[in-house]
Amino acid sequence: MGKEIVLSGIRATGNLHLGNYYGALSKFVRMQDDYDCLFFIADLHALTTSPDPKQLHENVKNIICEYLAAGLDPEKATIFVQSDVPEIPELYLLLNMHVGIGELMRTASFKDKARKQLGIKSESEDIEKEIIGTDSNKRVNAGLLTYPTLMAVDILIQKAHKVPVGKDQEQHLELTRRFARRFNSFYGVDLFPEPTNFDFGGAPVKVPGLDGSGKMGKSEGNCIYLIDDEKVLRKKVMRATTDTGPTEPGQAVSAPVENLFTLLELTSTPEVVKHYRDAYADCSIRYGDLKKQLAEDILKVTLPIRERYMEIRGDEEYLGRVVKAGAEKARERASKTLKEAREIMGIRKFY
């Protein structure tokens, strides 16, 4: 009793990669012993960009299996699927009455995703005009606009205190705090706590891509997936972008090579990292060796996850049991909060 409540989720849009693992999932695993944890699969959020009825269920299943394979323990943490908690969409409707269209339209993730969907490349183009235009109307859905409301409800309906997410989600958390404050002050209540991000000390990690870009991401096509098999994974690492190598002692490290060092720092020991940093500094480094080492160290993290994933993926009965128990627990608190919110807003029954 009295443990702080932790909640986080990942959208069901594919398989998880090293970025998701170091930015989110590995933190979930480390938190489950010390907090009252709820981790879920955001399938409703997946609908805001890629509604695909054939893929959705498989994607949800992938993430349940990846959560479990990476070490989330249903005895310690509540693991559930967002759409199994109908209280969430109901509170989402109610909270939307306190959210401005303007603040949603100014959200960075909305502008990015809307731009992508409309095929707009330049930052300067007036996306509002494009969105309002009849044709484009069809392509940017209202669900995408109200994405932050739904995310806020995921968090507020459980009255969560801590939300472990990557840096890219911080604006959404800021909005969640703003909506909580606004609701509380409008009705003169103290219903929702204001949640904060959580990291174990240090700055939030940003896992780089293998193609020289700053971020590993599903849509960037530069990912190492937790379930990549050994051959595929080695090939990806060996093909990672580098440069022609240092020619002068102490030369600055280029961005693509620094990315490889960042990945090595995440997966390897400090001694190994030092060895390659020193080899870079005195120009004796061979990128082939660095990559072989990196592939080995990544495999040490991912192979056990892959193995466990393969074991449980076919066990529908087990997966069903986990998320059924999770949904029941998640609904307990959610229905209590929803009831309170309805009362506060003046929604009362005649019968």
How far, in Å, are 40, 66, 192, 227, 268 from residue 308 at the CA level? 19, 9, 38, 10, 22
Burial label, 207 (beta-carbon count in 10 A; 0-12, 13-18, 19+):
buried
Residue 212 makes contact with ligand TRP by CB under 6 A: no
Q: CA 249 to CA 277: how far, in whole Å?
A: 12
Instruction: Determine which helix (DSSP H) or strand (DSSP E) holds 288, and give its type and residue range.
Output: helix 287-313
C-beta closer to ligand TRP: residue 157 or 290: 157
Q: What is the largest CA-CA distance in the chain?
A: 82
Mode of pairing for the β-strands spanning 162-163 and 78-81: unpaired
Sign of CA dihedral 257, 263, 268, 273: positive
Which position among 5, 8, 68, 263 is part of the footprint of ligand TRP (CB under 6 A)? 8
Find the distance separating the first CA and the last CA of the chain, reported in whole Å. Answer: 36
Backbone angles phi, psi at 243, to 5 degrees: -135, -165
Among ligand ADP, ligand TRP, none, residue 154 binds (CB under 5-8 Å by kind):
ligand TRP
Residue 148 makes contact with ligand ADP by CB under 6 A: no
Backbone angles phi, psi at 13, to 5 degrees: -125, 10
**Footprint (CB under 6 A) of ligand TRP, residues 27-86:** 42, 45
Nearest to 50 by CA among 113, 115, 119: 113
231 is annotated as an active-site residue: no
215 is annotated as an active-site residue: yes
> Do residues 297 and 290 touch, judged by C-beta distance below 8 A?
no
Which position among 131, 163, 205, 338 is part of the footprint of ligand TRP (CB under 6 A)? 163
Shortest distance, position 42 Cβ to ligand TRP, whole Å: 4
Q: What angle do CA 265, 271, 273 make, to 5 degrees?
A: 35
The two tokens of residue 164 are 């472990």
User: Count residues contacting ligand ADP (CB under 6 A)?
Assistant: 18
C-beta closer to ligand TRP: residue 72 or 163: 163
218 is annotated as an active-site residue: yes
**Footprint (CB under 6 A) of ligand ADP, residues 10-29:** 10-11, 19-20, 22-24
Which position among 29, 85, 95, 151 is part of the footprint of ligand TRP (CB under 6 A)? 151
Residue 212 makes contact with ligand ADP by CB under 6 A: no
Residue 165 makes contact with ligand TRP by CB under 6 A: yes
Residue with tokens 């001694």: 271
Residue among 76, 111, 206, 215 flagged as catalytic: 215
Which position among 166, 195, 212, 246 is part of the footprint of ligand ADP (CB under 6 A)? 166
Residue 154 makes contact with ligand TRP by CB under 6 A: yes
Contact string (CB under 6 A) for ligand ADP, positions 246-285, x = contact: ----------------------------------------
Shortest distance, position 168 Cβ to ligand ADP, whole Å: 5
Residue among 61, 111, 167, 218 flagged as catalytic: 218
Among ligand TRP, ligand ADP, none, residue 216 binds (CB under 5-8 Å by kind):
ligand ADP
Neighbours of 38 (CB within 10 A): 24
C-beta closer to ligand TRP: residue 158 or 293: 158
Q: Sheet with 78-81: list strands edge to edge.
A: 78-81, 36-42, 5-11, 162-163, 196-197
Q: CA 215 to CA 217: how far, in whole Å?
A: 6
Residue 6 makes contact with ligand ADP by CB under 6 A: no
- The residue range among 124-132, 161-169, 220-228, 287-295 that interacts with ligand TRP, by the rule CB under 6 A, is 161-169
Which position among 6, 11, 49, 68 is part of the footprint of ligand TRP (CB under 6 A)? 11
Nearest to 87 by CA among 51, 46, 40: 40
Residues engaged in binding ligand ADP (CB under 6 A): 10-11, 19-20, 22-24, 165-166, 168-169, 205-207, 215-218
Residues engaged in binding ligand TRP (CB under 6 A): 7-11, 42, 45, 151, 154-155, 163, 165, 169, 172
Active site residues: 113, 215, 218
